[in-house]
Amino acid sequence: MISDDELGELERTVELALRSGDASALSLLGEGEISLVLAAGSGPRRACKRLPPFPTAESAERYTATIGRYIAELEQRGVDVVDTEVRRVRGSDGSIVLYCVQPILPATTLAVDIARDEPDRAPALLADIIDTVFATIDASVGLDAQLSNWAVVDDQLTYFDITTPLLRTPDGVSELDSDVFLASLPWALRTPVRRFVLPGILDRYHDPRTVSLDLASNLIKEHLDHLVPEVLSATAERVARPLSGEEVRSDRRSDARLWAALQAVRRADRAWQRHVRRRPYPFLLPGRANS
Ligand SMILES: Nc1ncnc2c1ncn2[C@@H]1O[C@H](COP(=O)(O)OP(=O)(O)O)[C@@H](O)[C@H]1O
Ligand SMILES: [Mg+2]
C-alpha cells in the first residue's frame, strides 16, 4: 500500500522536478511512450504511473472508470492483469492528478528482461503473447502487445500497461479521453493530431495483424532483432497476408519517424514555455528528460 500522504508527497516531488527541470529526486522504474513510472511508498514500494493532469473531477472520474472497465474486459477474455489501483491526488494548482498504482514487478519477471537474459524462454514467451493477442483483440477491445508491456508472474503471462485503456464503443469510437494525452502537445497541433494521427494509431490496436507487426517492429527497437522470425512464424497461419521481415523493418522506420517528430515538437514547446514564457513545462517527457 501507498498512503494518501505518501502519494501526495510523490506528487509534490514530481511538481518540483517539473519546475526545476531536474528529475534526479525521482526514482524511475521505467519510461514508456506515454508515462513515466515512479517507485514510491514505504514498506513494499509501489510502481506509480502518473497521468497528465485532468482539468475537472468529472474527466478524472470518467478516465478512472474507463481503466476499470478495460481491466475487467481483459480479465473476462482470460488475460491476467497486474493488480492496479487508480488513485487521485490534488495538484498544487488545484488540478486532479491520477496515479495508476501497481506492485513493483521484479526485473526478472519482465518480458523484455526474460527475452534478453534467458534466450531459451523467448520463443515460447512470444508464442504465448501472440496466442493472447489473437484470443483477445476485436473491434471493441484492443491491446498494445509490445514486449515492454508484459511480465511473467507465477508462470503466467501478465499484462501491465493499462494507463491507455484501448476500448471502443460498438460504433467504433475510442473511449479513450484523447485530450489527456494531447494535452502534452502544443495547442496548435492538438486538433490536427486528434483528427488525423490518433485515430490511425488507435485503430492499429484493434487488429491482431497490426498488433503483431508492432510487437515485431518493437523487437528491433529493443535490439532483439533475432526474435522477429518467432513472431513471423507464430502469426503465419493466422493472417490472410503473412507478415514479412521487410514489412517489419519498414514499420519500424515509420514508427520511429512518427514518435521522433512528436517528441521533437513537445521538446520545442517545452523550451518555449521554460525559456520564453518563463513557465514550468507541466509534463514529464520520456527520453532525454531535461535537456
Ligand atoms: N508494475 C511495474 N513494476 C516494475 N516496472 C514497471 C511496472 N510497470 C511498468 N514498469 C516499467 O515501466 C515501463 C513503462 O510502463 P508502461 O506501463 O508500459 O507505461 P507506458 O504506457 O508509458 O508504456 C515498462 O516497460 C517497465 O519497464
Ligand atoms: Mg508500455
Q: Per-residue pLDDT tens for 203-254? A: 899 999 999 999 999 999 999 999 999 999 999 999 999 999 999 999 999 8
Helix/strand/coil (H/E/C) assignment for every residue in the chain: CCCHHHHHHHHHHHHHHHHHCCCCCCCEEEECCCCEEEEECCCCCEEEEECCCECCHHHHHHHHHHHHHHHHHHHHCCCEECCCEEEEEECCCCCEEEEEEEECCCHHHEHHHHHHHCHHHHHHHHHHHHHHHHHHCCCCECCCCCHHHEEEECCEEEECCCCCCCEECCCCCECCCHHHHHCCCCHHHHHHHHHHHHHHHHHHCCCHHHHHHHHHHHHHHCCCHHHHHHHHHHHHCCCCCCCCHHHHHHHHHHHHHHHHHHHHHHHHHHHHHHHHCCCCCCCCCCCCCCC
d(CA 44, CA 147): 25
Sketch the domain layout of the chain as residue ranges. Answer: 57-84+106-276
Give the residue with greater pLDDT, 283 vs 29: 29
pLDDT reported for residue 282: 63
- 10-59 pLDDT, tens digit per residue, is 999 998 888 887 888 889 898 755 677 999 998 899 999 998 888 899 99
CA of 276 to the centre of ligand 1 (A): 33
The count of residues in the chain is 291
CA angle 139, 173, 59 (to 5 degrees): 125
56-84: average pLDDT: 96
Out of 13-27, 73-87, 98-112, pick the least confident: 13-27
CA of 49 to the centre of ligand 1 (A): 8
CB-based pocket (< 6 A), ligand 1 = 29-30, 32-35, 37, 47, 49, 82, 102, 104-105, 110, 148-149, 160-161, 163-164
Can you tell me which atom of ligand 1 is nearest the CA of 33? 22
C-alpha cell at 140: 471493441
CA of 171 to the centre of ligand 1 (A): 31
Q: For 211, list phi and psi in degrees, rounded to 5.
A: -65, -40
CA of 240 to the centre of ligand 1 (A): 33
pLDDT at 291 > cutoff 50 = no
Predicted model pTM:
0.90
Residue 138's beta-bridge partner residues? none
The number of the ligand nearest the C-alpha atom of 144 reads 2
CA of 36 to the centre of ligand 1 (A): 8
Mean pLDDT of the chain: 89
CA of 32 to the centre of ligand 1 (A): 6
The number of CA neighbours under 13 Å toward the Cβ of 61 is: 3
> Residue 289 — pLDDT band, cuts 50, 70, 90?
very low
| Residue nearest ligand 1's atom 20 by CA | 32
| Residue nearest ligand 1's atom 10 by CA | 30
Give the residue with greater pLDDT, 132 vs 54: 132
pLDDT reported for residue 63: 94
* Ligand 1 binding pocket mutation candidate from 33, 37, 98, 144 (most atoms within 8 A of CB): 37
Can you tell me which atom of ligand 1 is nearest the CA of 106? 4
